[in-house]
Amino acid sequence: MLMSSEVMARLKKDYIYNLMLKGEREDKRSFDEVRDIQIETNVIDKAEGSAKVQVGQTQLIAGIKLQKGTPFPDSPDEGVIITSMELNPIASPIFEPGPPNENAVEMSRVVDRGIRESGSIDLKKLCIKEGEEVWMVFVDIHVLNDDGNILDAASIGAISALLTTKIPAIGEDNDEIPVPVRELPVAISLVDIEGQLMVDPSLDEETICNTKITIISNQDGSICGMQKSGNGGLTIDQVLEASEIAVKRASEIREKHLLDI
């Protein structure tokens, strides 16, 4: 007799919880350890910048397209950033075709917020003519495989792609110049499972957790973004612990993977 999805979920939660009590995780990582990360840049010839990122078995591609457009009225001398995400059906049996769902919209907004609030791009240098014309930067993220923690992979993919992006200079020679990236925001997510924080959750851990918190930090360790999801709550001590872990792991990712792009 086949077990219902509810029974399967309960068994999975009990299994992960019992492992946690022994100080273990399914994939043998420690609670504060991220999975292996691989980054490949310039993977899309027709994009101005691109990167393929793999975190564990979670895979996605981030592409950057540039076009000239009109600035927002409240920032007439600044370029525009627009971030979107597609949860492709090939990535997971629960993803459906059609317009981005609320999860994709929420994750793209968090990635976008990290880029904006960190001051990652010097938007004033994307101004062509104040009040009339600026460069618009479109960050498009396509998820290829979901093995948990898409958000962190998307954050890494977005900044990796931006680091490879070139824009035409405004002048007679019209030489390409890099997008003015001046900060490297990195998102680190943790889940709370019965009071225990686990960094970079796998798909199973993400599915059964009480709550999830994502913390985006800058190179100097300052926090530029934070997002909580799920029905559970976190204590002040848990938030402080999560922040400390997130800043440390983000620094390691920058040092190992981003500074040489």
**How does strand 49-55 pair with strand 37-41?**
antiparallel
Domain regions of the chain by residue span: 31-258
Mean pLDDT of the chain: 93
Model confidence, pTM = 0.94
Q: Which residue has the tokens 């990290």?
A: 114
Beta bridge partners of 127: 134
Q: Which residue has the tokens 């600035």?
A: 71
**How does strand 166-168 pair with strand 176-178?**
antiparallel
Residue 254 neighbours by CB under 8 Å, 6+ apart: 184, 186, 219
| Dist. CA 161–CA 50, nearest whole Å | 4
Q: Is residue 8 scored above 80 in pLDDT?
A: no
Q: How confident is the model at residue 1 (pLDDT cuts 50, 70, 90)?
A: very low
Q: How confident is the model at residue 5 (pLDDT cuts 50, 70, 90)?
A: low
Coil, strand or helix: which one is 33? Answer: coil
Q: Which residue has the tokens 């009990």?
A: 14
**Residue 40 near residue 51 (C-beta atoms within 8 A):** yes
Average pLDDT (218-247) is 96
Q: Is residue 173 scored above 70 in pLDDT?
A: no
| Dist. CA 250–CA 19, nearest whole Å | 26
Written as one letter, the residue type at 168 is P
Q: What is the CATH number of domain 31-258?
A: 3.30.230.70
Average pLDDT (213-225) is 97
Coil, strand or helix: which one is 233? Answer: coil
Q: How confident is the model at residue 186 (pLDDT cuts 50, 70, 90)?
A: very high
